[in-house]
Amino acid sequence: MFNRSAVLAVVIATSLCSATVGAQSDVAIGKDIKVTIALHGYTCDEVIDVKHNGDSDYLASCKDGNRYRVFVDKEGRVVVQKK
């Protein structure tokens, strides 16, 4: 069975691969980021904007006004920080 960190790493890796496809992938990245936020126990009704800050580092804005930084730390763990 996969642990939560492994699943989240796969979600982020999928987002990174999708990012190279183009505008159509923006929707997929938003969905992946939303799932990652939810798996960390935070609320986000809909991701309306995602800024790519760097390698495996995103800033997501949700329709409900919440903002989150989603990134992979030095130990390879996916982290979600409420902004």
Tokens found for residue 63: 């329709």
* pLDDT recorded at residue 8: 60
Q: Is the entire prediction scored with pTM above 0.75?
A: no
Cα 39 to Cα 6, 20, 21, 26, 79, distances in angstroms: 12, 25, 25, 20, 11
Question: Domain limits at 20?
Answer: 4-82
Instruction: Choose among 45, 39, 51, 44: nearest CA to 79.
Output: 39
Query: Is pLDDT of 9 > 70?
Result: no
Which residues partner with 61 through β-bridges?
49, 67
Q: What is the pLDDT of residues 17-65, one digit of tens each?
A: 444 445 547 778 889 999 999 999 999 999 999 999 988 999 999 999 9
Structural domain count of the chain: 1
